């Protein structure tokens, strides 16, 4: 069990990580923080935003500050599963004979950026499923472990849907959270221009290493969750089901399918990570409310009426948060 002082020290180090990332990435506070929460919770994240919003640069910057090995996979329609996982190649030995040698693919890194994941075929997308869920890859019957720690951070654009392959529900559910990367404000846009079009060269410092990150992940697991907090989170997830006994009218009207058990797991994991990030070893009500949208927005499936009226899953989660009351203090 970690002490209160250790949680405070870890929070200070994580705040330094956040500050170091901010030296290079302008704005995007929510995207940065929820990506860090996902990493602390040992989960994978899906980032969605318009082209040029800095999604790729954000992930590359985080990997540098955390001192993690990094690889980027550009997903295209002709990408094959072996391009991700690697394959056996024939190699000549010193004695002149030939043997099969495994050539690892880019998936064998600690932080893997799956860029524009919805541009690859479902067969190629599914090559990530085992690695994301089981932390292993099986090639020709041989199971190989992934690096530790291991994260898949995927990006996709909400536009240019022509020629894309929407992620199947099973793969969407593997992502701990879905993070929206918004368009920058005017002042942020001006600061981006100053940093990217001038002669200033920003050198990032490595604030955390692998060993320290693994300790942080262990601290997240040991964060305390009171029964009333767990019950409140469970009520939120149950409220997303349109066929539930006490389903809210707007849920019945606009939602086709609600969140599965992984939605509740994601809320609790992200809430614990947020607590550690803020130097606490217990989950508060504010933590659960703050992480509800990233944890659930990609797990709700709208029906025809919901899509036709322009409703978003964020709108519906916000309404659910207003309706689900809990007699505990934040």
Tokens representing 137 are 């890859």
User: How far are the Cα atoms of 50, 116, 285, 293 from residue 161, in angstroms, in the given order?
Assistant: 12, 11, 37, 23
Helix (H, G, I), strand (E, B) or coil at 181: strand
In the prediction, which pLDDT does 127 show? 77
Identify which has the larger pLDDT, 302 or 182. Answer: 302
User: How far are the Cα atoms of 23, 97, 258 from residue 236, in angstroms, in the given order?
Assistant: 36, 62, 10
Helix (H, G, I), strand (E, B) or coil at 280: coil
**Cβ atoms of 61 and 26 closer than 8 Å:** no
In the prediction, which pLDDT does 287 show? 93
In 3D space, the residue among 259, 64, 244, 248 whose CA is nearest the CA of residue 176 turns out to be 259
pLDDT, mean of residues 39-46: 91
In the prediction, which pLDDT does 162 show? 57
Which of 27-36, 160-169, 249-258 has the lowest average pLDDT?
160-169
HSE value, Cβ hemisphere, 13 Å, CA-based, for 153 = 30
Percentage of residues of the chain with pLDDT beyond 70: 95
Q: Which residues, 6 or more positions from 271, have their beta carbon under 8 angstroms from its beta carbon?
A: 225, 229, 233, 283, 287, 288, 290, 291
Flag whether pLDDT at 141 surpasses 50: yes
Flag whether pLDDT at 312 surpasses 80: yes
In the prediction, which pLDDT does 192 show? 77
pLDDT, mean of residues 81-103: 78
**Cβ atoms of 264 and 208 closer than 8 Å:** no
The predicted model scores a pTM of 0.87
Q: Write out pLDDT tens, residues 150-200.
A: 888 888 877 655 556 777 777 788 889 999 888 888 887 888 777 777 666
Flag whether pLDDT at 62 surpasses 60: yes
Categorize the per-residue pLDDT at 316 as very low, low, confident or very high, splitting at 50, 70 and 90: very high
Flag whether pLDDT at 330 surpasses 50: no
Which of 102-111, 226-235, 259-268 has the lowest average pLDDT?
102-111
**All domains of the chain in start order, with CATH:** 4-208 (3.40.50.300), 223-323 (1.10.8.80)
Element (H, E) at 110: none
Identify which has the larger pLDDT, 34 or 138. Answer: 34
In the prediction, which pLDDT does 3 show? 81
Q: Write out pLDDT tens, residues 187-218.
A: 878 887 777 776 667 777 888 888 999 999 99
pLDDT, mean of residues 322-327: 70
- Rounded CA gap, 122 and 168, in Å? 8
In the prediction, which pLDDT does 161 show? 58
Secondary structure in 3-state letters for 43-101: CCEEEEECCCCCHHHHHHHHHHHCCCCEEEEECCCCCCHHHHHEEEEEEECCCCCEEEE
- Rounded CA gap, 154 and 175, in Å? 9
């Amino acid at each position: 069990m970690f002490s209160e002082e250790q949680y405070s020290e870890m929070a200070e180090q994580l705040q330094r990580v956040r500050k170091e990332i901010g030296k290079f990435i302008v704005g995007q506070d929510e995207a940065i923080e929820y990506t860090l929460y996902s990493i602390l919770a040992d989960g994978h994240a899906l980032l969605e935003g318009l082209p040029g919003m800095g999604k790729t640069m954000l992930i590359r910057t985080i990997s540098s500050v955390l001192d993690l090995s990094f690889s980027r996979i550009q997903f295209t329609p002709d990408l094959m599963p072996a391009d991700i996982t690697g394959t056996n190649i024939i190699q000549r030995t010193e004695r002149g004979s030939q043997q099969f040698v495994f050539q690892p693919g880019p998936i064998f890194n600690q932080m893997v950026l799956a860029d524009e994941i919805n541009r690859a075929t479902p067969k190629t997308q599914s090559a990530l499923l085992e690695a994301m869920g089981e932390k292993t890859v099986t090639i020709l019957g041989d199971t190989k472990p992934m690096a530790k720690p291991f994260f898949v951070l995927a990006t996709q654009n909400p536009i240019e849907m022509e020629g894309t392959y929407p992620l199947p529900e099973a793969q969407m559910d593997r992502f701990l959270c879905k993070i929206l990367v918004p368009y920058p404000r005017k002042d942020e846009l001006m600061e981006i221009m100053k940093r990217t079009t001038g002669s200033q060269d920003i050198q990032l410092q490595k604030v955390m290493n692998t060993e320290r990150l693994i300790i942080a992940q262990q601290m997240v697991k040991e964060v305390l969750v009171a029964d009333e907090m767990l019950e409140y989170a469970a009520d939120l997830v149950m409220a997303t089901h349109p066929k539930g006994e006490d389903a809210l009218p707007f849920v019945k009207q606009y939602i086709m399918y609600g969140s599965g058990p992984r939605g509740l797991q994601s809320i609790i994991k992200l809430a614990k990570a947020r607590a550690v990030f803020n130097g606490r070893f217990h989950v508060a009500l504010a933590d659960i409310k703050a992480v509800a949208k990233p944890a659930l927005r990609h797990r709700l499936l709208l029906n025809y009426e919901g899509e036709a009226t322009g409703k978003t899953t964020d709108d519906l989660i916000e309404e659910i948060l207003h309706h689900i009351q809990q007699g505990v203090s934040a």
